[in-house]
Structure 1
Amino acid sequence: MEMQKLPNGSHHLNAAVPVQDGVPPEDQRFLQHKDDGSKRPQFTDFEGETSFGMSVFNLSNAIMGSGILGLSYAMSNTGILLFLALLTCIACLSCYSIHLLLRSAGVVGIRAYEQLGLRAFGQPGKIVAAIIITLHNIGAMSSYLFIVKSELPLVIQAFLGHTSSSDDWFMNGNYLIVIVTLCIILPLTLMKHLGYLGYTSGFSLSCMVFFLSAVIYKRFHIACPLEVFGNSSVNHTAVLEDSCAAKFFTINQETAYSIPILVFAFVCHPEVFPIYTELSNPTKRRMQTIGNVSILGMFTMYFFTAIFGYLTFYGNTEAELLHAYSQVDPLDTLILCVRLAVLVAVTLTVPVVLFPIRRALEQLLFPGKPFHWFRHVAIALCLLSAVNLLVVLVPNIRDIFAVTGATTAPSLIFILPGLFYIRIIPAEQEPMSSRPKIQAACFTALGFLFMTMSLTFIGLDWLTGERRSLGGH
């Protein structure tokens, strides 16, 4: 809601919520008990009932994405120590970003990313925030369904014992993503509350834990240098000696792409407020703890996945870790099960990612409207149809993901939280010369620096590729 109703019946938009009974506003509950009457729920007509554990599952599932498959490759291009330093810094910055969002939300009593944009910059801020969330999450959902499109036919092929691809309809990735969307994803997205997805999020995380366990197991069962399955033409004696040696610090042409991989791996900020809204006993400190626990858990999984994958393949680490295992033995039963687990995990993540897009569109197109099932279902159907159409019709949207990822990810993690904090926190409470606002300003500047760097490297890569292409004619 854009306006809040005061006890005397008047409305205000810009006034900050005062301290009540000596409790700072960021520690106060947003959803008061229904018999309190002091404040109406902002976005729902129910008291949040999602437990702490389920909220951790949902936020962890929002953090966990397909990027985990590329972390070993990132480590191979940075070295173990530099990777650990970068991973630690980005995890800490993500926690700080959540702190800025919750602090800003606590001052004005708003728990929606788009509404913070409205409070900070008016209607343009609300529109920009909604567009960024929509573009980023549509890109994320598309990447998940692209994994389903490419990997599910291979899993079915292996289970059926086929040695080569066939023209059967059930081996067509385009048909499979439509079936998966209708049978699994759509019913989950039609649930009224995000908290109900805590069970599927927990199962999704367990699939990724199985993936990590398999990576650790394979580290001790794959020798280096690799013996590529069924490829006797490979001259393994020509493998350089240092290709099987761990590097602790390295810089090469691909190092610049490792930082975006790590930053994208921690984007969960559009999901913070929907999870916060449905949290039981919602306070800033409780939600911040959920964010810290979720990020710490994913930090641990990311690091162990990266280091054990890297110590398996060393200099031969590929950008997609599962593909590297398939090069060794495509008929490996364990890796087949891991592929299936990853497919389940990304499929169950799509509904969690869709909820913030639907909320952003509702805040943008239907502000202040009460919940309505028709609108709830229609938005989900339109979004899933658009994403399926994108995945089916576009054979390679890597460049689109690169541009949107280089712009939306730093906007959601760095730029918008810092700007919201600077604009929303009253100057009389924290002047611009205060340390918290200086930190927020530096945080925002870091986001612009990262965006500029990423777009520059992407542009150079496109130009270099064009020159290579022209040179080939």
Structure 2
Amino acid sequence: MTTGAVTESFPESSEPLLPTKRRWEGEDGGGDEAAFHEFNGASFAGAVFNLSTTIVGAGIMALPATMKVLGLVPGLVMIVLAAFLTDASVELLMRFSRVVGAPSYGAVMGDAFGWWGRRLLQVCVVVNNVGVMIVYMIIIGDVLSGTSSGGEHHYGVLEGWFGTHWWNGRFFVLLVTTLGVFTPLACFKRVDSLSYTSAISVALAVVFVVITAGIAIVKLIRGQIPMPKLFPAVPDLASVWELFTAVPVLVTAYVCHYNGTR
């Protein structure tokens, strides 16, 4: 058997959507993916919720900011374009993961680009996750403990409910959140174990959209919403570079590839 060879062959019509018991041997003779045969696949509901919460995450909160920068028409075009590119790349990834019998994104990269390609991908995924986690921490701190800008303090949820105390300060809230929420969730061995929290995340995202749409409709009826700009304002060269700040937001809002083949 050659390196990266297919260990099992399935007819196209009977290829399972979710992974089954299958051992994929990478270039290092098993290595990181050798233990995959111990896992008999994820549940269908768990796979749906995990993939949904990866796609529909905190990125939806940043999409209005991109629309403000790009304008309504280019913003909608970029959102649709990013959606098509994501769909095409995920379809490509899933198709070739079935061809080589690889159980993960890293395994596909290893088959195509070797050991260094797989390690480079893993580093990029770690950097992306750390960056997104920092963004989440900033959002949590702003929402729960408030934030100050321009000499004005915007109260958070805990400050608005209970007043200003040491235990609802930014440092203590983030410390409790990290040790009590993020750390236990990060200790799970398999992503499928996060299916319940992913379901809650998707439900909260729907609640966020419903509340935001309700507020927008009420303000629109009252005439409190100005006409949004259709195209970006580009008075100088600095404004042109500002348009590119919308690109990472749109890309991150659709990223789900590293959970697509699990």
Q: TM-score range by the shorter chain?
A: 0.7 to 0.9
What per-residue deviation string (whole Å, max 9, x for no partner) do you get for residues 318-353 of structure 1? xxxxxxxxxxxxxxxxxxxxxxxxxxxxxxxxxxxx
- The number of equivalent residue pairs is 234
1:355-401 deviation digits (Å, cap 9, x = unpaired) = xxxxxxxxxxxxxxxxxxxxxxxxxxxxxxxxxxxxxxxxxxxxxxx
Q: 1:110 to 1:183 in 2, by over 3 A?
A: same
Unaligned 5+ runs, structure 1: 1-10, 35-39, 227-243, 275-473
Please give the residue correspondences for 1:371-450 in structure 2 after superposition, counting only pairs within 5 Å: none
**Structure 2 matches for 1:53-68, cutoff 5 A?**
53-68=45-60
Cα drift, residue 208 of structure 1 = 1.5
1:58-116 per-position Cα deviation (integer Å, ceiling 9, x unaligned) = 11111223332221222233333322221111111101111111122112111222222
The answer on 1:110 being equivalent to 2:102 is: yes
Match of 1:31 among 20, 24, 34: 20
With structure 2 as the length reference, what TM-score do the two structures score?
0.78
Q: Shift of residue 123 of structure 1? A: 1.7
Task: Give 1:124 shift.
Answer: 1.1
| Aligned CA distance change for structure 1 residues 122 and 249 (closer, same or farther; 3 Å) | same
1:19 shift after superposition? 4.9
Out of 14, 34, 39, the position equivalent to 1:46 is 39
Paired residues of 2:22 and 2:37 also in contact (CA < 8 A): no
1:60/1:259 Cα in 2 relative to 1: closer, same or farther (>3 Å)? same
CA drift at 1:14: 3.6
Q: Which residue of 2 aligns with 1:176?
A: 173
Structure 2 partner of 1:394: none
Q: Name which of 246, 255, 260 aligns with 1:267.
A: 255
What's the CA shift for 1:176? 1.4
Alpha-carbon distance change, 221 to 64 in structure 1, aligned in 2, over 3 angstroms: same
1:43 and 1:204 mapped to 2: Cα distance? 27
Deviations 1:433-458 (A, max 9, x none): xxxxxxxxxxxxxxxxxxxxxxxxxx
Identity rate, percent: 26
Q: For 1:61 and 1:214, how far apart are their aligned partners in 2? A: 18
Cα deviation for residue 47 of structure 1 reads 1.4
Deviation at 1:260, TM superposition (A): 2.7
Give the counterpart of 1:159 among 154, 158, 161.
161
Cα contact 1:25–1:107 (8 A) shared by 2: no
CA contact (8 A) 1:67 1:265 kept: yes
Amino acid at match of 1:159: W
Q: Answer whether contact 1:87 1:262 (CA < 8 A) is retained.
A: yes
Could you tell me which of 82, 85, 88 is aligned with 1:96? Answer: 88
Task: Give the C-alpha shift of residue 259 in structure 1.
Answer: 2.8
Map Cα deviations across residues 172-203 of structure 1 (whole Å, 9 max, x no partner). 21221221222222233333332232221111
Distance 1:183 1:103 in 2: 39
Report the counterpart of residue 245 of structure 2 in structure 1.
257
What corresponds to 1:186 in structure 2? Answer: 183
Q: In the superposition, relative to structure 1, how do residues 49 and 115 fare at CA in structure 2: closer, same or farther (>3 Å)?
A: closer
Question: Residue 230 of structure 2 aligns with which residue?
Answer: 248
| Aligned equivalents of 2:41, 2:199: Cα separation in 1 | 19
Give a deviation string over 1:400-452, Cα, whole Å, max 9, x none: xxxxxxxxxxxxxxxxxxxxxxxxxxxxxxxxxxxxxxxxxxxxxxxxxxxxx
Distance in 1 (CA, whole Å) between partners of 2:203 and 2:16 is 34
Q: Is the 8 A contact 1:18 1:25 kept in 2?
A: no
Partner of 2:65: 73
Quick one: which amino acid aligns to residue 2 of structure 2?
A: H
Matching of residue 133 in structure 1 with residue 135 in structure 2: no
Asked if 1:209 corresponds to 2:206, the answer is yes
C-alpha contact 2:46 2:196 (8 A) present in aligned 1: yes
AA aligned to 1:157 is: E
Describe the shift of the 1:175–1:256 C-alpha distance in structure 2 as closer, same or farther (beyond 3 A). same
Following TM superposition, by how much is the alpha carbon of 1:45 offset from its aligned partner in structure 2, in angstroms? 0.8
Whichever of the two has the greater Rg, that structure is: 1
| Cα RMSD after superposing both structures | 2.8
Quick one: distance in 1 between partners of 2:34 and 2:120? 25
